[in-house]
Structure 1
């Protein structure tokens, strides 16, 4: 949860693991052998000793946080009351907030668990101690089928940006550490490298910064109405060209045209609705690495459909049949 003057609920996203490059293997292998450190200062010293470039340091911190911090399901399910700071002196309020944040970071580091705020604050502190320019970003995250076409934005997640050689890269160490199994209400530890230095087109399909809520430079409607994409979609660099929205309105019996990049293995594709009924797919053509296919809408109802490749979810859409 994020500690602010108002109560904010946090979410944790369910996602899959992927393979990663040899360079990241080398960095992760070093970090995996790290002993327990007494504080973040000692960890930062070790990272600066083992890695020289800003990018490798940023990656090492991501690996350490994702590999070592567990998601705190109890804290997520039972968030504490929001912390308030009262003083006419703004500097005193800032001091109290800093002390509280520092204590929360120490607690997460010591207990090796936390929620998204703890992951992002911990990343920020270790990064700053390592000489990096790191920011914590608060905003909205799309995590569920019902988020497709949602009417409003929420401050329900936290992540980081890091400035590397004058360019800001996007990092979500919480999602890099595993996922929450809602059936068993347990956190599953599974290192997921794709949430380090994510391409903006994918990252912002799943994240919307709070700073953009009121005067957005980003397209809020496109974000809220876009399809829900999953890790396999990012891993394979798949991009949806059609439909233009994640909400598709059609007549019963119509076919919906889809165009998705990098889906050449169409024999490995499948599509199911939210009743687990398999839908028939009609492959039209593949051209310039873009697969065109259609789905027949038989039901007169609102439903969600999800595409899978080798049983891994790619993307979900909300279908409204008249």
Structure 2
């Protein structure tokens, strides 16, 4: 079951962002509603996009038009993200993957390409392990995967620690909420400014949008929950990999100045068919830093398959 956007906002105080040629949808996802933005060629292959922390589907806004001529494009806010519902618990990536798959099924998509960044890539990896038969292939952008390539220890070397320090901080009970409530914009701005290659990648309005999504009801709690449930995500990933490796085509997309220098190499021990590409002049937020290059890399991957 799915519906189009009703009058007003699904999440109180958080306006829906419109993108020309695309429509807001709210498919049922196993008892909660996820927010999806759909457009493009209805007769083309479906491409599902997932964003990460501290973002929403809006992270794909400059990539989606480039894919829309040939593909049916669907960007989905994860549970707790953007205008999706914000359940109280169950943010391990296998539970979230089941909800994303339910939403995709409700949108009448039998098989699709899955493209995901950051925490979205955590979910996509678990989804590929759980629902491989529903995928043509998967592309993962600049992300360590819980239990797989995400390090167990946070480096203390200042040259590396700035990339991953927040993993430990987000795990501390209550303290992040105490320090960040009312200061969400400053926190989000740090990530968007420091982790992009150019500190001018995001303008003030874009920072405002992402910060508002986290500041809205339940947003901060949900954002932290993905990290707090990462150990459960890792455990379930290990269990799934004991049954077999990924066999669908996997594309690892790295930024020249991102967090993971070679996504394909990091994942190839667990994927039978992994290839990679490095996007020049990009930090962590590759879809917004180099959207044209991302469109080219994805189109080449999809065409080759």
State the TM-score, normalized to the length of structure 1: 0.24
Quick check: which one's helix share is greater? 2
Quick check: which one's strand share is greater? 1
Rg larger in structure: 1
State the TM-score, normalized to the length of structure 2: 0.25
